[in-house]
């Protein structure tokens, strides 16, 4: 489980420095920071900029381009539901509408108790057993709304 | 007794891990002498979790198996499908690229070499660079990512480029809905991709490779990372590949959820740590690619097919296929389908045969209304085009594309106006923003389709014109090909657009 605490500068710098030998290290650095904290802390951006000789604006531009990188912590469970065509052919639209309605949130939203974040995903490669979803990194095939809600304890 | 259970993520998504755990417990409880081997998937997803049991007479298939079936299965009272290889879906295939997938333990290098692995690389080590590239050219292999560009010609450009460093970049950003061949081979036969990349490196003189693997595939990332470590430990990768004095090493890099990074220049920017914005071509990546150096960018399946080309020879591979589409193609049949999965066959099988005979129609049992071929940028085909043979030029001639060879099946409840709208919405979400026809056009496309839905018949002409602009004016396939699903839906299923109009009137 990731920690959503107030990250220490020295700790973030240590995570960044582990990737210094790589060619094109910025994405691996973002991934490592998010793996540690559950999001990419804003305080990491100037550290990344200094380390890689970039401007903070450039670093922010890269981070914000990618759907994966969060700027705030997600809920305790992350439910990703596939919205792509193969899953739509198996009723994914209705399924996700029911899940979101029961949780009372929209895409990218987190329940008020901080339990569940629901994110759209465009294909998990489970297209012959849709609708597909991922709960905290675990894949679910032939999903339905009741099962997904049970998986996240809602 | 040997028991084979897939560790492919589609099998896991349907409960394979629970079946394996139940099996292990039952074996221990009964004091049986049995070994459980986790393999890749055979690609018969409707039978997953598939369990194969070898009691000394070859493998017999059972599935789908639930944890509740385990006792009956071990007692020999569960009905099965007979010998795995005789199941029609498998028996009708020509497996070259996927020959080992589902058969071997993905992370056993011994298993890999016992099933023909590394034979291709050993042969390539005895050839000159030019001979390696000539072999790939002679095989007729074309880019399996979708563009269909001849792999040998691309390699030859990189071979001819002068530079202190060259790279092999594997495009494993398989974002197209309805496709999972890359995922399956990376999870089920990772050494095959590694071997293909090493041969590519030897051929063009590149010593470093990267696999850009999408973050949506955590299982594939784990398997590929483990396989690279094993290959390096065994000397397949490193400063002295198989002791032959040539160097090649590689890394797995993880994407971050941007569909457009499947476009090769956008992928290269992402790999360099930049925004995944498309680059204008020229310069070609083959001349100025990763870090500005000559770079081979090939799809997973293209590279994973290279070992078998060298193992069996270019002529053997080129003998399969149709016209300029040579060899085999792993077709992924998905969506609302009875027998979905991966079907590798020589190019040329008619679309309708694949859908009606091989895949058995829809899962819901309702009539097939439309199929989308080639992912979210591929055209929707109605039944009247089902005699189209599966090949690059053949699909192009019908106003479509084979793309990464995924077929998504829809039954007669599908709303084609809704699917056209989704295509535009997806393009708007995933546009990199560099060129205007894609960035703005996709947003206007959603709005225009909403106008049609509200009964504004004049908006059809606007949508058609917009699609022309996007097709001609976009920098890459995202904006350029989004008109394929939109216009094919509009052209072939006019009722879905007209009824809304009439209902509104």
**pLDDT tens across the length of chain B (505 residues):** 999 999 999 999 999 999 999 999 999 999 999 999 999 999 999 999 999 999 999 999 999 999 999 999 999 999 999 999 999 999 999 999 999 999 999 999 999 999 999 999 999 999 999 999 999 999 999 999 988 999 999 999 999 999 999 999 999 999 999 999 999 999 999 999 999 999 999 999 999 999 999 999 999 999 999 999 999 999 999 999 999 999 999 999 999 999 999 999 999 999 999 999 999 999 999 999 999 999 999 999 999 999 999 999 999 999 999 999 999 999 999 999 999 999 999 999 999 999 999 999 999 999 999 999 999 999 999 999 999 999 999 999 999 999 999 999 999 999 999 999 999 999 999 999 999 999 999 999 999 999 999 999 999 999 999 999 999 999 999 999 999 999 999 999 999 998 555 555 5
Q: Say yes or no: B463 and B358 in one domain.
A: no
Same domain assignment for residues A48 and A96: no
Last residue of a domain, one of B91, B122, B153: B91
Q: Tell me, yes or no, whether B35 and B159 share the same domain.
A: no
Does some domain include residue B289? yes
Chain A contacts of B14, Cβ < 8 Å? Answer: 129, 141-142
How long a stretch of residues is chain B? 505
Considering the domain architecture, whether residues B137 and B79 belong to the same structural domain is answered as no
Using an 8 Å CB-CB cutoff, list chain A residues near B10: 125-126, 128-129, 139, 141
pLDDT tier at A1 (50, 70, 90 boundaries)? very low
Q: Does A137 touch chain B (CB under 8 A)?
A: yes
Residue A71: inside a domain: no
Instruction: Write the CATH number for B115.
Output: 3.40.50.11540
Domain of A114, CATH number, reads: 3.40.30.10
Same domain? For B125 and B76 the reply is no
Centroid of chain to Cα B373: 12
**Record: contact B276-A25, CB cut-off 8 A:** no
**Count of domains forming chain B:** 4
Cα dist from A116 to A6, A94, A111, A138, B145, whole Å: 21, 19, 6, 15, 35
Task: Round to whole Å and give the CA distance between B182 and B216.
Answer: 12
Closest by Cα among B243, B309, B242, B351 to B96: B309
Which of A26, A28, A128 is nearest residue B340 as measured by Cβ atoms?
A128
Query: How close A81 comes to chain B (CA, Å)?
Result: 11
- Residue A85, chain B, CB below 8 Å: the answer is yes
CA angle A153, A106, A144 (to 5 degrees): 50
For residue A72, is it within any domain?
A: no
Q: List the single residue in A26, A86, A126 with the smallest CB-CB distance to B13.
A: A126
- Pair B306, B356 in one domain: no
Chain A with chain B: Cβ pairs closer than 8 A: 155
Q: Which domain holds residue B313?
A: 109-318
Q: Does any CB of chain B come closer than 8 Å to the CB of residue A62?
A: yes
- Is B314 domain-assigned? yes
Q: How far out from the chain centre does Cα B300 lie?
A: 7
For residues A85 and A137, membership in a common domain is answered with: yes
**Do residue B256 and residue A127 have CB atoms under 8 angstroms apart?**
no
CATH code of B371's domain? 3.10.20.600
Domain match, A48 and A93 both: no
Q: Which residue of B has its CA nearest to A141?
A: B13
Contact B133, B201 (CB under 8 A): no
Where would I find the H helices in B165-242? 181-188, 190-204, 218-233
The pLDDT, as a whole number, for residue B505 is 53
Test B219 with A65 for CB contact under 8 angstroms.
no
Residues B465 and B487 in one domain: yes
Read off the CATH number of the domain in which B457 is found: 1.20.1440.230
Which residues in chain B are closer than 8 Å to A134, comparing Cβ atoms? 216
**Residues B117 and B145 placed together within one structural domain of the fold:** yes
Pair B292, B349 in one domain: no
Minimal Cα distance from A81: which residue of B?
B216
Residues B261 and B198 in one domain: yes
> Is A15 in the same domain as A81?
no
User: Residue B97 falls within a domain, yes or no?
Assistant: no
Average pLDDT over residues A75-94: 97
Q: Are residues A94 and A138 in the same domain?
A: yes
| pLDDT at residue A5 in the model | 56
* Nearest-by-CA chain B residue for A70: B256
**DSSP designation for B14:** T
CB B444 within 8 A of CB B402: no
Nearest to B334 by CA among B353, B349, B354, B348: B354
**Cβ within 8 Å of residue A88, ≥6 positions away:** B419, B422
Choosing from A26, A41, A65, the residue where a domain stops is A65
Query: Residue B13: which of A24, A69, A129 has the nearest Cβ?
Result: A129
Chain A residues with beta carbon closer than 8 angstroms to that of B354: none
Tokens of B107: 């992370």
Residues A98 and A145 in one domain: yes
**Within this chain, do residues A31 and A97 fall inside the same structural domain, yes or no?**
no
Answer whether residue B432 is part of any domain. Answer: yes
Distance CA A2, CA A23 (A): 27
Tell me whether residues B275 and A125 touch, CB distance under 8 A: no
Measure B147 CA to nearest chain A CA, in Å: 20
Q: How far is B131 from chain A (nearest CA, A)?
A: 31
Range of the domain at A50: 9-65
Q: Which of A63, A85, A90, A93 to mutate to test the interface with B (most CBs of B within 10 A)?
A: A85
**For residue A86, which residues of chain B lie inside 8 Å, CB to CB?**
177-178, 334-335, 406, 408
Pair A89, A37 in one domain: no
The tens digit of pLDDT for each residue in A7-59 reads 899 999 999 999 999 999 999 999 999 999 999 999 999 999 999 999 999 99
Residue A76, token pair as written in the block: 């305790």
| Tens-digit pLDDT profile for residues A87-107 | 999 999 999 999 999 999 999
Token output for B374: 């080639």
Q: Is B101 domain-assigned?
A: no
Residue A106 lies in a domain: yes
Contact B408 A127 (CB under 8 A): yes
Instruction: Report whether B477 contacts B377 (CB < 8 A).
Output: yes
In a domain, B26, yes or no: yes
List CB contacts (< 8 A) between B430 and chain A: 122
Beta-carbon separation of A125 and B372 below 8 A: no
What crossing angle do the helices spanning B416-430 and B494-504 adopt, rounded to 10°? Answer: 100
Q: Within its chain, how far is the Cα of B129 from the centroid?
A: 28
Residues A90 and A115 in one domain: yes
Are B303 and B266 in the same domain? Answer: yes
| Total count of domains within chain A | 2
Query: Nearest by CB to A86, which of B218, B273, B334?
Result: B334
Q: Which of A36, A65, A94 is the last residue of a domain?
A: A65
B102 is a domain residue: no
Residues B406, B426 share a domain? no
- Cα(B139)–Cα(B124) distance, integer angstroms: 14
State which of B362, B377, B411 marks the end of a domain: B411
Do both A86 and A111 map to the same domain?
A: yes
A54 is a domain residue: yes
DSSP state of B298: E
Shortest CA gap B134–chain A (Å): 31
Shortest Cα distance, chain A CAs vs residue B135, angstroms: 31
Which tokens is B256 given? Answer: 């971050």
Are residues B266 and B304 located together in one domain of the fold?
Answer: yes
Interface test with A, best of B335, B374, B427, B478 (most A CBs within 10 A): B335
A21 within domain boundaries:
yes
- Contact yes or no for A68 and B253 at CB 8 A: no
CA distance B184 to chain A (A): 9
Yes or no, beta carbons of B14 and A141 under 8 Å apart: yes
SS3 annotation, B267-285: HHHHHCCCCCCCCCCCCCC
User: Can you name the residues that pair with B120 across neighbouring β-strands?
Assistant: none
Q: What is the CATH number of the domain that holds B29?
A: 3.40.30.10
| Burial tier of A104 (Cβ tally within 10 Å: 0-12, 13-18, 19+) | exposed
pLDDT digits (tens, 9 = 90+) for B448-461: 999 999 999 999 99
pLDDT of B499 reads 58
Question: Is A31 domain-assigned?
Answer: yes
| Residue B103 in domain | no
The three-state (H, E, C) secondary structure of B31-60, written as one string: CCCCEEEEECCCCEHHHCCCEEEECCCCEE
């Amino acid at each position: 489980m990731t920690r959503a605490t107030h990250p220490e500068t020295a700790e973030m710098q240590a995570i960044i420095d582990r990737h210094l030998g790589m060619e094109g290290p910025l994405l691996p650095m973002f991934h490592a920071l998010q793996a540690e904290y559950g999001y990419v802390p804003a305080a990491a951006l100037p550290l990344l900029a200094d380390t890689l000789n970039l401007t903070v604006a450039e670093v922010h531009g890269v981070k914000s381009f990618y759907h994966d990188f969060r700027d705030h912590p997600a809920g305790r469970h992350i439910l990703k539901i596939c919205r792509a065509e193969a899953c739509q052919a198996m009723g994914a639209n209705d399924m996700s509408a029911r899940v979101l309605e029961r949780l009372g949130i929209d895409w990218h939203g987190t329940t008020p108790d901080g339990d569940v974040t629901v994110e759209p995903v465009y294909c998990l490669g489970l297209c012959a057993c849709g609708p597909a979803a991922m709960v905290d990194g675990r894949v679910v095939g032939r999903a339905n709304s009741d099962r997904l809600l049970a998986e996240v304890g809602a | 007794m040997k028991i084979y259970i897939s560790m492919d993520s589609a099998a896991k998504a349907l409960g394979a891990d629970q079946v394996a755990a139940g099996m292990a417990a039952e074996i221990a409880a009964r004091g049986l002498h049995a070994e459980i081997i986790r393999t890749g998937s055979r690609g018969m997803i409707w039978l997953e979790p598939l369990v194969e049991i070898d009691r000394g007479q070859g493998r017999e298939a059972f599935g789908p198996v639930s944890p509740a079936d385990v006792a009956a299965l071990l007692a020999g009272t569960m009905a099965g499908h007979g010998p795995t290889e005789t199941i029609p879906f498998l028996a009708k295939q020509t497996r070259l690229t996927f020959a080992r997938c589902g058969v071997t333990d993905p992370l056993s290098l011994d298993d890999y070499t016992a099933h023909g692995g590394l034979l291709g690389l050993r042969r390539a080590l005895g050839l000159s660079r030019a001979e390696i590239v000539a072999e790939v050219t002679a095989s007729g292999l074309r880019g399996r990512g979708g563009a269909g560009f001849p792999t040998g010609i691309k390699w030859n450009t990189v071979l001819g480029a002068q530079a202190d460093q060259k790279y092999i970049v594997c495009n494993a950003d398989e974002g197209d809905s309805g496709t999972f061949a890359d995922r399956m081979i990376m999870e089920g036969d990772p050494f095959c991709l590694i071997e293909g990349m090493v041969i590519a490196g030897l051929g063009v003189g590149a010593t470093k490779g990267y696999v850009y693997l999408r973050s949506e595939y955590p299982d594939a990332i784990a398997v590929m990372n483990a396989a690279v470590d094993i290959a390096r430990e065994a000397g397949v990768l490193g400063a002295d590949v198989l002791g032959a004095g040539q160097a090649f090493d590689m890394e797995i890099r993880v994407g971050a959820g941007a569909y457009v990074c499947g476009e090769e220049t956008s992928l290269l920017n992402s790999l360099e740590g930049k925004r995944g914005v498309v680059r204008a071509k020229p310069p070609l990546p083959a001349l100025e690619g990763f870090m500005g150096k000559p770079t081979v960018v090939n799809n997973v399946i293209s590279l994973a097919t290279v070992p078998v080309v060298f193992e069996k020879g270019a002529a053997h591979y080129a003998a399969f296929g149709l016209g300029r589409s040579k060899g085999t193609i792993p077709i992924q049949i998905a969506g609302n389908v009875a027998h979905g999965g991966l079907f590798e066959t020589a190019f040329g099988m008619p679309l309708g045969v694949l859908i009606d005979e091989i895949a058995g129609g829809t899962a819901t049992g309702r009539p097939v209304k439309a199929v989308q071929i080639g992912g979210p940028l591929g055209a929707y085909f109605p039944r009247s085009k089902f005699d189209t043979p599966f090949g690059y030029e053949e699909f192009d001639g019908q106003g479509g594309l084979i793309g990464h060879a995924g077929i998504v099946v829809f039954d007669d409840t599908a709303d084609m106006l809704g699917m056209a709208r989704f295509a535009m919405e997806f393009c708007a979400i995933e546009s990199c923003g560099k060129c205007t026809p894609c960035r703005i056009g996709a947003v206007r496309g959603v709005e225009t389709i909403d106008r049609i839905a509200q009964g504004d018949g004049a908006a059809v002409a606007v949508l058609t014109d917009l699609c022309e602009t996007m097709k001609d004016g976009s920098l890459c396939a995202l904006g350029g090909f989004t008109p394929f699903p939109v216009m094919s839906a509009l052209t072939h299923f006019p009722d879905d657009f007209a009824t809304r109009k009439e209902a509104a009137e």
